Amino acid sequence: MRQAIIVLLILPFFFCRAYAEELPRQALNAFDAGRMKSGLNEEELEISGALDSDSYDAGSALSRLWHVLFEMLRANLRKELGFALRLLTLIFLCGSARAACPVDKIGGLIEICAVCAAAALLVGNVHSLTSQTTNALYRLSDYSRAALPVVYTAAAASGAVNSAAARYAASVLAFDVIMGLSQRAVIPLIYLSLSLSLTNAVFPNPILAAVEHFAKWMAKTAMTAASLAFTAYLGMSAVITGSVDAAAIKTARSVISGALPVVGGMISDASSAVLSAAGVVRSCTGAFGLVSVCAICAGPFALLSVKSLVLKAVADAAESVQIPRLQKLFSGVGNAAAMLLGLLGSCAVMLFLSFAVGMKAVTA
């Protein structure tokens, strides 16, 4: 009887709260995960979803993202069809005027007037495309400075001390490089190719065509080289620092367990729980960052892709009615829109990879 009473008195002390279950939530607050939402507008926050607990519903977020992207594509396509109709009307009028005037000089003058009219219609669109692309690049850069520290801090806390620091440095350096290239090289080269396209459309010249082709090649090479260099550096840092982190975690566990024979295993298990909580936060914030990057780029991506396709279709229409000057102009502007899309895509892919490698860091 006495033993039963003693057991009943001691038994309540064995029922205590499992604080390990709250570790991910506490880690979420400790790493200031609320910074992941900074810089996002209301629509982007709605797409990305909630990040208030130790789990993140990435499937629902991706579903909302695809729905919004489809709606943006449809709205831009409806808007651009009206603009394409005006350009096609100009092509039809130019072709009809040329057919009515058999004199070559008058036909050439008609084409030049049509090119000037088309350029006047395209000036505002090109400026809008460039400004929206530049604004999206700045937003991605600002978001990387706010969100990447959260992901890589959680990665370092989960055991990837060396690799997290190296990859975060690579990400920051890559964005500084791509922003410098976009401001000082890529966008000026795009403007140069546009001006050469207009000049070559009015006064066809093989030298102008060669310089225009060289400017496009330089812009594409700069974007490709930056993306390849960034990917290569991330890959090398993952191979070198990842093995170091894995060895360090294994050694630390062995030292703790061996140095403290009685409680060493308990301390090692407790540290594993803390590291696992940091890993949960790293995965949740990384997935949130991936969706947020896509949400930021959804609007400009829809606009640039639709604009590029419409201009290329109009250029094919001008070529079919044998108006080479208009075909060169529309093709040049379409290529410029495609290069702006490539510039935005390069920056987005770098940030996307930055979040992805943060999520795939070494775990305990």
| Residue whose entry in the numeric block shows the structure tokens 């260099």 | 229
Task: Give pLDDT, residue 127.
Answer: 81
Q: Which of 12-26, 186-200, 213-227, 296-310 has the lowest mean pLDDT?
A: 12-26
C-beta of residue 285 within 8 angstroms of C-beta of residue 29: no
User: Which pLDDT belongs to residue 53?
Assistant: 54
Query: Does residue 49 come out as left (phi exceeding 0), alpha (psi in the -120 to 50 range) or beta?
Result: left
Q: What percent of the chain has pLDDT over 70?
A: 70
* CA angle, 59 then 60 then 61, to 5°: 90
Q: Is residue 280 part of a domain?
A: yes
Cα maximum dimension of the chain: 121
pLDDT band at 264 (very low <50, low <70, confident <90, very high): very low
Are 235 and 163 spatial neighbours (Cβ–Cβ below 8 Å)? no
Q: Distances from the Cα of 89 to the Cαs of 95, 184, 299, 318, in angstroms?
A: 10, 37, 28, 11
* Alpha-carbon span 246 to 244, nearest angstrom: 6
Split at pLDDT 50, 70, 90, the class of 177 is: confident
pTM surpassing 0.85? no
Banded pLDDT at 223 (limits 50, 70, 90): confident
Kindly state whether residue 43 falls inside one of the protein's structural domains. no
Three-class DSSP category at 15: coil
CA 292 to CA 136: how far, in whole Å? 13
- 339-344 average pLDDT score: 88
Confidence band, pLDDT 50/70/90 cuts, at residue 3: low
| Arithmetic mean of pLDDT, 315-332 | 84
Q: Which of 4-8, 49-53, 83-87, 179-183 is the least confident region?
A: 4-8
Give pLDDT, residue 7.
Answer: 46
The mean per-residue pLDDT over the stretch 285-300 comes to 84
Domain that holds residue 111: 59-359
Tell which wins on pLDDT, 225 or 51. Answer: 225
Burial of 273 (0-12, 13-18, 19+ CB in 10 A): middle
Q: Examine residue 168 and state whether it is found in any structural domain, yes or no.
A: yes
Evaluate whether residue 74 is within a structural domain: yes
What value does the mean pLDDT of the chain take? 74
Length, in residues, of the chain: 364
Number of domains in the chain: 1
Say if 147 falls within a structural domain: yes
Distance from the first to the final alpha carbon of the chain: 48
Residue 244: pLDDT over 50: no
* CA gap 15, 209 in Å, rounded: 81
Report the distance separating Cα 226 and Cα 232, nearest Å: 10
> Residue 163 has what pLDDT?
67
Main-chain dihedrals φ then ψ at residue 234, nearest 5 degrees: -65, -40
Encoded amino acid at 316, one letter: D
**284 compared with 301, residue with greater pLDDT:** 301
| Residue 153 banded pLDDT, cuts 50, 70, 90 | confident
CA 197 to chain centre: 29
At residue 176, the pLDDT reads: 76
Categorize the per-residue pLDDT at 257 as very low, low, confident or very high, splitting at 50, 70 and 90: very low
Asked, for residue 7, whether it belongs to a domain, the answer is: no
Tokens encoding 2: 């006495």
Pairwise CA distance, residues 71 & 74, whole Å:
5
The predicted structure's pLDDT at residue 259? 44
Rg (CA), the chain: 29
Distance in angstroms (rounded) separating the CA atoms of residues 266 and 260: 9
State the pLDDT at residue 269.
43
Taking CA atoms, 17 is separated from 22, 227, 276, 343, in Å, by 10, 49, 19, 52
Q: Is the pLDDT of residue 27 over 70?
A: no
Cα 329–331–334 angle (5° rounding)? Answer: 110
pLDDT at 247 over 50: no
Q: Given this model, what pLDDT does residue 231 score?
A: 76
